[in-house]
């Protein structure tokens, strides 16, 4: 089945130690998104790629960066994780249709713990 | 994008219809109503979306009022596996971004 895959499902890192989360998709979608979801809160968009074009949300901290080496893969890099970055990180994809009916499909998420 | 208002929580008996309301009084003409749900510790799952007309798929029905200021998601025969947070999202504008509100926690009880 075509899907959005996130690895690992659980990641533990130390305060200040860089960490990379990965997302892959078999849907051949043009757009890939990264969301952050803190405990008991709604998901919040960090940034997205439309093909190779990177689109950062205005309030996303500089500590968060992303790479998309090809259509299938997208990475979330946290340069110096703080305790406040502990969260579920969700990857989503969409075809990239122009207009308002471009459904986003989510992966299962990676839960990041910062010690 | 227009804001949405949903009750924070609802209960439903297993096998009964679950009716989840959403207010979006500031919705504009080109904005769609989307519903997603998130089961505990999983990624959000797309349910259904609509513009003006009522919509139905294998998961649910979406009823949108004629003035489009509110909508109701209907799960016709709720099961325990439908226990989740349900998000109503108004989506449109130039970016079509999903902006999640706090959603409704639906608890389906035996």
Per residue in B44-57, pLDDT tens? 999 999 999 899 99
Residues A114, A88 contacting (CB under 8 angstroms): no
A106 phi and psi angles, rounded to 5 deg: -100, 150
Averaged pLDDT for residues B88-102: 79
Nearest CB partner across the interface for B31, out of A42, A100, A109: A100
Query: The sheet that has A64-67: what strands, in order across it?
Result: A4-7, A19-25, A73-78, A64-67
Averaged pLDDT for residues A15-28: 96
The pLDDT tens digits for A48-90 are 999 999 999 999 999 999 999 999 999 999 999 999 999 999 9
If pLDDT is split at 50, 70 and 90, which confidence band does A3 have?
Answer: very high
Whose tokens are 């608890």? That residue is B107
Average pLDDT, chain A: 92
Which of B8, B39, B43 should we substitute to test contact with A (largest number of A Cβ atoms within 10 Å)?
A: B43
Q: Which residues contact B14 (CB under 8 A, 6 or more apart)?
A: B78, B79, B80, B108, B109, B110
Residue B94 pLDDT: 58
Number of inter-chain CB pairs under 8 A, A vs B:
46
Residue B1 pLDDT: 57
**Which ranges in B19-80 belong to alpha helices (H)?**
none
Averaged pLDDT for residues A5-33: 95
Cβ-defined contact of B30 to A44 (cutoff 8 Å): no
Residue A38 pLDDT: 95
SS3 A62: coil
Cβ-defined contact of B99 to A107 (cutoff 8 Å): no
């Amino acid at each position: 089945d075509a899907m959005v895959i996130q690895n690992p499902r659980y990641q533990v890192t130390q305060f200040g130690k860089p960490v990379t989360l990965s997302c892959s998709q078999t849907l051949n979608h043009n757009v890939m998104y990264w969301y952050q979801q803190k405990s008991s809160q709604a998901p919040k968009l960090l940034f997205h790629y439309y093909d190779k074009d990177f689109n950062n949300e205005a309030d996303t901290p500089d500590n968060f960066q992303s790479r998309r080496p090809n259509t299938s893969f997208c990475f979330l890099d946290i340069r110096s994780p703080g305790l406040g970055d502990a969260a579920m990180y969700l990857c989503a994809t969409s075809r990239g249709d122009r207009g308002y009916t471009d459904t986003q499909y989510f992966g299962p998420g990676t839960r990041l713990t910062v010690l | 994008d227009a804001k949405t208002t949903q009750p924070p929580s609802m209960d439903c008996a297993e096998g009964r219809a679950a009716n989840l309301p959403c207010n979006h009084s500031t919705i504009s003409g080109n904005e769609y109503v989307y519903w997603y749900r998130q089961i505990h510790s999983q990624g959000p799952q797309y349910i259904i979306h609509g513009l003006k007309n009522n919509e139905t798929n294998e998961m649910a029905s979406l009823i949108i009022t004629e003035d489009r200021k509110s909508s109701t998601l209907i799960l016709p025969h709720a099961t325990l596996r439908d226990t989740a947070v349900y998000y109503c999202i108004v989506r449109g504008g130039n970016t079509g971004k999903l902006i999640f509100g706090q959603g409704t926690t639906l608890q389906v009880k035996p």
